[in-house]
């Protein structure tokens, strides 16, 4: 059963993200991470509320401009955001851990199932929805073909490596291999 407080939190998070996010980031990254996370939480009997909130907020400070340490500042942001509600402190702490440990380019020790789910869902979204990666490198950064291919391939490899569940790798292996092949032909 979903309580009214939880519904309010999700509603307020969506209002926040709609203010600070462009449609592409919501459509091709945030919402897929949420969808994948919630599905995995159900499959693996994890805390669905923790996973859903962490999925929505995992990149919040990256969106606000903090690329390098967004996993750290995002965890603090989430804590401060959630303190305004009568939300369980243990769940807030777990949400912080999920956000702090979701990043693939830093060494993280993911201990809980929820942390592993958020990292995995974030990684899968890059493989399932690679359009933002191509837009970033070729649209925003105006990279040459080879440079963009090398950078996108590197990001996808890091994403692949942070997937914590073999069954999820099995589900997307064909798509991952295809993307890597296409990108290797353009280096």
Question: Can you list the pairs that 27-30 forms with residues at least 24 positions away whose Cβ atoms lie under 8 Å?
Answer: 28/125, 28/129, 28/131, 28/132, 29/59, 29/125, 29/129, 29/132, 30/55, 30/56, 30/59
| Alpha-carbon Rg for the chain in angstroms | 16
pLDDT at residue 2 is higher than 60: no
pLDDT at 16 (0 to 100): 95
| Sequence-ordered alpha helix ranges (H) in 83-144 | 89-100, 113-128, 131-134
pLDDT tens digits for range 81-130: 999 998 999 999 999 999 999 987 777 789 999 999 999 999 999 999 99
Residue 35 structure tokens: 């969808």
Q: Furthest-apart CA pair in the chain: how many Å?
A: 53
pLDDT at residue 53 is higher than 90: yes
Q: What is the C-alpha to C-alpha distance for residues 162 and 156, in angstroms, rounded to an integer?
A: 10
- 1 falls in which pLDDT band (50, 70, 90)? very low
First to last CA, the chain: 51
pLDDT at residue 30 is higher than 80: yes
pLDDT tens digits for range 4-20: 889 999 999 999 999 99
Mean per-residue pLDDT, 145-157: 96
| Sequence-ordered alpha helix ranges (H) in the chain | 4-20, 23-25, 31-44, 48-57, 60-63, 70-82, 89-100, 113-128, 131-134, 145-161, 166-184
DSSP state of 141: S
The pLDDT > 70 percentage for the chain reads 97
pLDDT tens digits for range 56-80: 999 999 999 998 999 999 999 999 9
Q: How does 107-121 read in b/e, with b if 16+ C-beta sit within 10 Å?
A: ebebeebbbbbbbbb
Q: What is the C-alpha to C-alpha distance for residues 58 and 101, in angstroms, rounded to an integer?
A: 10
pLDDT at residue 43 is higher than 50: yes
The pLDDT > 90 percentage for the chain reads 85
pLDDT tens digits for range 126-144: 999 999 999 999 999 999 9
- 22 falls in which pLDDT band (50, 70, 90)? confident
């Amino acid at each position: 059963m979903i309580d009214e407080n939880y519904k309010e939190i999700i509603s307020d998070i969506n209002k926040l993200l709609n203010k600070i996010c462009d449609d592409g980031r919501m459509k091709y990254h945030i919402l897929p991470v949420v969808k994948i996370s919630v599905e995995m939480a159900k499959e693996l009997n994890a805390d669905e509320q923790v996973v859903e909130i962490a999925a929505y907020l995992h990149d919040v400070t990256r969106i606000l401009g903090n690329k390098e340490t967004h996993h750290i500042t995002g965890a603090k942001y989430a804590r401060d955001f959630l303190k305004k509600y009568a939300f369980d402190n243990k769940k807030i702490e777990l949400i912080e851990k999920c956000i702090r440990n979701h990043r693939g380019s830093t060494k993280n020790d993911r201990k809980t199932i929820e942390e592993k789910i958020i990292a995995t869902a974030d990684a899968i979204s890059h493989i399932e929805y690679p359009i933002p990666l191509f837009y970033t490198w070729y649209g925003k950064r105006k990279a040459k073909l080879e440079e963009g291919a090398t950078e996108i391939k590197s990001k996808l490899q890091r994403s692949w490596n942070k997937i914590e569940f073999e069954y999820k790798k099995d589900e997307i292996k064909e798509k991952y291999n295809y993307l890597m092949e296409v990108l290797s032909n353009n280096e």
